[in-house]
């Protein structure tokens, strides 16, 4: 039988018995009440009227009209309260005798007759009271019997429900809870065994089917893939760097909590959405997707961790090789924002330190150079050949140190944003000729010819002529340094669309492709190079040109020379 049917039958029977008990109780209580009211209303009133008539009858013979009136009133009341058998005949006889007494016919005999009739009426009502009391008592006993029977049945049913119902409901639930805990602990072989034909039996069969399917799923490859996916998502979410995964259509596949925090968005607002659609209302996402993937950019400043933090964007392309194929295909990419705040702070401290030290060193080095110039003059005394060599060595080292401190000061100014540019309309020809003239002596010492290839009628450019010439001088100096003796360096100027292009082309040993994009990094020097330097010249050159809105580039092949280019906007 179904549990619901059992409960309905049990509770319904108990409810019906309680209703029946209530009805029986009300019925018998009303019966007892009715019997009591009958005794009080009928018989007790008759006794009261009879007693009043006996008391009044004693005063009737003494010309007491009040007694006659009282007797007559009680007699009338008795006539209207006849409830017992023969009580009407007795009352009529009393009425006739009272009428005779009032008329004076045999007053003594009438009184005796009236007295006897009143006593008979009282005796009759007294017997009726006793009889009705017995009936009321019997009714009460019957009521007690039926109420006790019905109450006992209600008690037995309620006791049975109290004893059996909690166990019948709780025990299967307890067993089911234990089985669910086993399933949660990945014990998918667990089964429940209460197979009654009721709701619990249906639940047990459904649970066992579920456990069987879970066991089958756990043993399948799909579970392994799902588990690995979950582990990968957890790993990504635990990383402290913001990470965003995109598919080939730029829809967001996953995003970790760090990224959601800096974006100010919720998981449901991001996953599955197109990144371009999100960028419409989110400035940070718009900044990330507009930055060129291969372009070296400055760290992005983002308010995170309750302070301004710096992040560097890195895009990792994800490719796979399909089964049975050899060619890789792209399936998406991952954007990683590396938190470089700590390194940015260290770099800022380093920049300040370099600026301070360079500034402090520049004065004594200049003083050394001035002292060397004084020593070289004949007025200070004649020096021998060995002393001349020592002075030349000191002069060369001080010149190198002065150049180094100058470059360090320039790079520190660039890093702190304190570079001063004098942007104006200027002729590209003047810049080139000034740069070539500056390195002419150095080129002649190495028997290198510098050829200027100028396109005619070039427009003016908008630039800082001094800084741009410095960059060209740096290009030419490097070209001379790494070119062979009696070689040729070409300085070419041409126009391309709205830009003037400066190119320094040499035929030196060139740059390995592994290092081609690193030569503009600060302090970078090509491994294996025998030439000494600070590694700052090209980094400063890049900063100078980009600060003017231009671009700088290099093309080189190992053994075939290099071409360094500057693109400046025309006026």
pLDDT > 70 fraction of the chain, expressed in percent and rounded: 82
Q: 414-468: per-residue pLDDT in tens?
A: 555 566 778 899 999 999 999 999 888 889 988 999 999 999 889 999 998 888 9
Q: Which residue has the tokens 């009696």?
A: 486
Is residue 46 classed exposed, middle or buried when 0-12, 13-18 and 19+ CB atoms within 10 A define those classes? buried
User: Buried b vs exposed e over 334-346: b needs ≥16 C-beta within 10 Å?
Assistant: bbbbebbbeebee
Phi, psi (degrees; rounded to nearest 5) at 99 = -70, -40
Q: What is the DSSP string of 430-493?
A: HHHHHHHHHHHHHHHHTT-EEEEEE-TTPPPEEE-HHHHHHHHHHHHHHHHHHSPTT-EEEEEE
Q: How many CA atoms lie within 13 A of 488 on its CB side?
A: 5
Q: How confident is the model at residue 208 (pLDDT cuts 50, 70, 90)?
A: confident
Rounded average pLDDT over 253-259 = 84
Average of per-residue pLDDT across 279-300: 68
Q: Is the pLDDT of residue 501 over 90?
A: yes
- Of 157-171, 240-254, 399-413, the least confident: 399-413
What pLDDT score does 83 carry? 79
Rounded to a whole number, what is the distance in angstroms from the first to the last CA of the chain?
A: 97
Q: What is the average per-residue pLDDT within 542-567?
A: 89
According to the model, what pLDDT value does residue 309 have?
A: 78
For the chain, the farthest-separated pair of C-alpha atoms sits apart, in whole angstroms, at 196
pLDDT at residue 295, as a whole number:
46
**For the segment 353-405, what is each residue's pLDDT rounded down to a tens digit?**
666 665 566 667 777 777 777 777 777 777 777 877 787 778 777 776 766 67
- Which range (324-338, 364-378, 489-503, 546-560) has the least confidence? 364-378
For residue 52, the number of C-alpha atoms closer than 13 Å in the C-beta half-sphere is 19
| pLDDT tens string 511-549 | 888 877 788 887 677 766 655 566 777 887 888 888 888
pLDDT at 293: 44
Q: What is the pLDDT at residue 494?
A: 93
Average pLDDT along the chain: 79
Comparing CA positions, the residue from 442, 428, 514, 415 lying closest to residue 471 is 428
Weakest mean pLDDT among 245-249, 287-291, 503-507, 532-536: 532-536
pLDDT of residue 499: 92
pLDDT of res. 530: 55
Distance in angstroms (rounded) separating the CA atoms of residues 162 and 293 = 74
Asked if residue 114 has pLDDT above 80, the reply is: yes
Tell me what percent of the residues of the chain surpass a pLDDT of 90.
10
pLDDT at 112: 81
Mean pLDDT of 190-195: 72
Q: Is the pLDDT of residue 294 over 50?
A: no
Structure tokens at 314: 């890195």
- C-alpha–C-alpha distance, residues 272 and 284, integer Å: 18
**CB of 475 within 8 A of CB of 438?**
no
Rounded Cα distance between 477 and 531, Å, is 12
Residue 528, by phi and psi: left (phi above 0), alpha (psi -120 to 50) or beta? left
Q: What is the mean pLDDT of residues 63-79?
A: 81
Residue among 96, 55, 97 nearest 74 (CA) = 55
DSSP-derived 3-state class of residue 39: helix
């Amino acid at each position: 039988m179904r549990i619901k049917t059992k409960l309905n039958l049990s509770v319904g029977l108990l409810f019906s018995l309680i209703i029946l008990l209530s009805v029986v109780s009300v019925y018998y209580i009303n019966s007892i009440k009715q019997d009591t009211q009958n005794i009080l209303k009928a018989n007790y009133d008759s006794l009261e009227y009879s007693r009043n008539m006996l008391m009044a009858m004693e005063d009737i013979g003494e010309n007491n009209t009040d007694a006659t009136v009282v007797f007559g009133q009680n007699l009338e009341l008795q006539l209207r309260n006849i409830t017992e058998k023969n009580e009407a005949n007795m009352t009529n006889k009393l009425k006739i005798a009272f009428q005779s007494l009032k008329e004076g016919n045999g007053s003594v005999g009438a009184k005796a007759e009236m007295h006897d009739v009143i006593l008979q009426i009282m005796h009759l009502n007294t017997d009726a009271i006793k009889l009705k009391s017995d009936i009321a008592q019997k009714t009460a006993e019957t009521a007690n019997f039926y109420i006790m029977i019905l109450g006992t049945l209600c008690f037995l049913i309620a006791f049975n429900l109290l004893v059996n119902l909690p166990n019948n409901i709780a025990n299967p639930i307890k067993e089911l809870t234990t089985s669910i805990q086993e399933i949660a602990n990945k014990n998918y072989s667990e089964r429940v065994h209460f197979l009654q034909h009721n709701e619990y039996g249906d639940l047990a069969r459904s649970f066992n089917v579920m456990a069987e399917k879970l066991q089958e799923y756990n043993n399948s490859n799909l579970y392994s893939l799902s588990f690995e996916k979950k582990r990968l998502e957890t790993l990504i979410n635990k990383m402290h760097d913001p990470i965003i995964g995109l598919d080939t259509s730029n829809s967001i596949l996953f995003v970790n909590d760090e990224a959601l925090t800096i974006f100010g968005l919720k998981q449901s607002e991001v996953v599955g959405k197109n990144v371009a659609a999100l960028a419409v209302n989110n400035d940070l996402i718009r900044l990330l997707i507009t930055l060129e993937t291969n372009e070296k950019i400055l760290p992005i400043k983002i308010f995170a961790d309750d302070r301004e933090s710096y992040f560097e964007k890195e895009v990792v392309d994800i490719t796979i090789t399909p089964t049975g194929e050899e060619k890789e295909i792209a399936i998406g990419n991952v954007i990683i924002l590396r938190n470089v705040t700590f390194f940015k702070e260290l770099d800022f401290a380093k920049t300040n330190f370099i600026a301070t030290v360079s500034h402090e060193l520049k004065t004594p080095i200049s003083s050394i150079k001035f002292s060397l110039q004084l020593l070289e003059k004949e007025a200070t005394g004649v020096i021998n050949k060995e002393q001349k060599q020592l002075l030349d060595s000191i002069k060369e080292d001080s010149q190198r140190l002065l150049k180094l401190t100058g470059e360090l000061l320039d790079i520190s100014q660039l890093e702190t944003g304190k570079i001063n540019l004098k942007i104006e309309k200027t002729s590209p020809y003047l810049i080139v000729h000034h740069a070539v003239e500056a390195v002419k002596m150095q080129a002649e010492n190495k028997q290198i010819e510098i050829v200027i290839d100028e396109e005619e009628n070039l427009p003016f450019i908008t630039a800082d002529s001094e800084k741009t010439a410095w960059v060209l001088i740096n290009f030419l100096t490097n070209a001379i340094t790494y070119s062979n003796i009696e070689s040729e360096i070409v300085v070419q100027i041409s126009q391309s669309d709205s830009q003037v292009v400066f190119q320094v082309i040499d035929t030196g040993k060139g740059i390995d492709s592994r290092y081609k994009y690193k030569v503009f990094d600060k302090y970078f020097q090509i491994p294996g190079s025998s030439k000494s330097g600070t590694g700052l010249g090209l980094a400063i050159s890049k900063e100078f040109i980009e600060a003017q809105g231009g671009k700088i580039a290099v093309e080189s092949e190992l053994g075939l020379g290099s071409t360094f280019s500057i693109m400046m906007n025309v006026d």
